[in-house]
Structure 1
Amino acid sequence: MPIDAAKALAAEPRTGEIAWTAKDVLLYHLGIGAGLPATDPDELRYTLESRLHVLPSFATVAGSGAPGVISGLSMPGVEVDLARVLHGGQTLQVHRPIPATGTATATSRIAGVYDKGTAAILVLRTEVADPQGPLWTNDAQIFLRAEGGFGGDRGPSTRLDPPAGEPERTVERTVREDQALLYRLSGDWNPLHADPEFAKVAGFERPILHGLCTYGMTLKAVVDTLLGGDVTRVRAYATRFAGVVYPGETLRIRMWRQEGAVRVAVSSVERDDAPVLADTVVEHT
């Protein structure tokens, strides 16, 4: 059987040292579209090392650059075809601001294996701490097409009621044609995002953008638009990947301010507002 839920959940956590530099942070920020306009003081916070503020979503690539999807597939009890793999969702808890340069210990384990019938979902949890204490916790929900039906727990629902009323702010962000090629340099080398032939085998007309790139672009839009550009206000950030994005498209990002949080919905302008990110919440101070 491709997935042995009991074996995956019982496996010993994997622990290793990770490190990152300001160069890694700068590359990540450029990969999610920072730097336009290049001389804008608000953008220089993301692109100039002497002023660098770390967007919390950098946590998804810090250190090895593996955002959980590929590394989760090498855990005990998991043996699947990479062409069937999609990133289903991502949850990030930020325990304190991420330094521009750092070393830390990352501990990863399979925290959940869920049977959705026609598909399976793995939850890969990664907890990161440095000598001063916890830094962040990442949960990557890995969607495995055609791997369900093994009789396991369906797991909790992540669906939220739609936010009420009109959004407080709506912004649009263009995805560059080469953005997936730049973003993958932060560590996610899945050929689905670069190789046209591989993308066709996986069922897509051409390479798609990394879900975590859309995730980062969206958080930056929320921080810049409703949080005064202050990255340290972000406490948690969760989303469900509801659809794909193709390089060259435009993201429409709708935001609703709530008590201590911002609800967000992201869609593709060119595909009649097809959903891209759903059930998205940014918790903040």
Structure 2
Amino acid sequence: MTSKNKTNPVEGAEQIIAVAHRLADAARTETLKLFRSPALRPDNKATTGFDPVTEADRASERAMRAILAAERPEDGIVGEEYGVQQGRSGLTWVLDPIDGTRAFMAGAPSWGVLIGLNDAQGPIYGIVDQPHLHERFEGGLGHARLISREGTHRLKARQGVSLAEATLMTTYPEVGSSAEHAAFSRVSAQVRLVRYGLDCYAYALLAAGHVDLVIEAGLQPYDVVAPIAVVQAAGGVVTDWQGRPAHGGGTILAAGSHELHAEALALLMGD
């Protein structure tokens, strides 16, 4: 099981953090221009089904990439809308310009902007930003904090909660394949409360101590790198459903404590 929470500053950590906040500020500006706007015109990226993208997604990522080109040109970039740009520094920014585009389309404030940073081993820093609510959840490089209109508060995942007492969140009730849904159901049948549909905001609530478990499947790296960094900085645990590092995407199990993670992992694995 992996629960990496790097608190030792890497070289240039203060500048990295400053740049990350500039990325989040730029993405706020671009996304809020079209949130709840009649000018919003979603496109469908999928050849079958519905995978929406909007000009807000594209403009948000373009704005962040422009800042990185100017201020961190040696770093790599992985972004949902504009793909991979190789770097030379050993650090890679992982960007989801709007995580939860369906919520964005519906006017629901559960979407977010995800800004993660990987080194060779995985996530070292992340921001989960909710522009409409003015909530910024930050984790890694010595920080675990929520910055909001009410001020700055420490992020701390909830401890001492058993599976029977836990609140579990996932985005889609279907939760992946039929086998993955069956594994999820083994856990959901044992918890106190299950809620759906918050995308990245569920991980932010876990880091803030309001949610105990987030279990998902079918995710991409840009969906998970920033949430992993934030949850781990807050004292939580994130792996895939086999207890391995999860920053490559796929299945995700996030828990507020090692004990709760072990309970949920055993059920997901069918033990």
Where is the strand percentage greater, Structure 1 or Structure 2?
1
TM (norm. structure 2) is: 0.30
Structure number with higher helix proportion: 2
TM normalised by structure 1 equals 0.28
